[in-house]
Amino acid sequence: MLQTASTKLETLALLSLAFLDIMPVSEGHTLVIPKYHAETLKDVPDEYLADVGPVIKKVALATGVKDYNIVQNNGKLAFQHVPHVHFHIVPKPNEKEGLILDAKQNWPMKKAENDELAATAEKMTSRM
């Protein structure tokens, strides 16, 4: 995605950039990226992530839309198409614009037992 002066948003952030998506799914669809090249989130230094968070919030509020999605994909299986960490802020002004998800199709939930959840929490905690 090319960034031009006309699509850049001035956020006053030191370590990140925000610019309008050139293929938006709704008005105000914006990308926020760290000024550090990393393909996935795990490779971004924490100080850049600390800078990105407030920018995402400012941009989301600046869309003027009450409902919105924040999307960040890591890896091909997770639908990452650009090899640079980026966050999509996607305003959802109505049912036809913005990100369109079907909870049954796009969020296949399954019941987890408490012992399974406890084992997963322990496994993840040991990796932190």
The catalytic residues are: 86
Beta strand ranges found along the chain (DSSP E): 8-9, 16-20, 30-34, 68-71, 87-91
CA dist., res. 1 & res. 14, Å (int)? 21
CA dist., res. 35 & res. 104, Å (int)? 36
Calculate the alpha carbon distances from 21 to 8, 28, 30, 118 in Å. Answer: 10, 8, 5, 40
Record the tokens describing residue 18, joined without a space.
Answer: 């925000």
CA dist., res. 114 & res. 99, Å (int)? 32
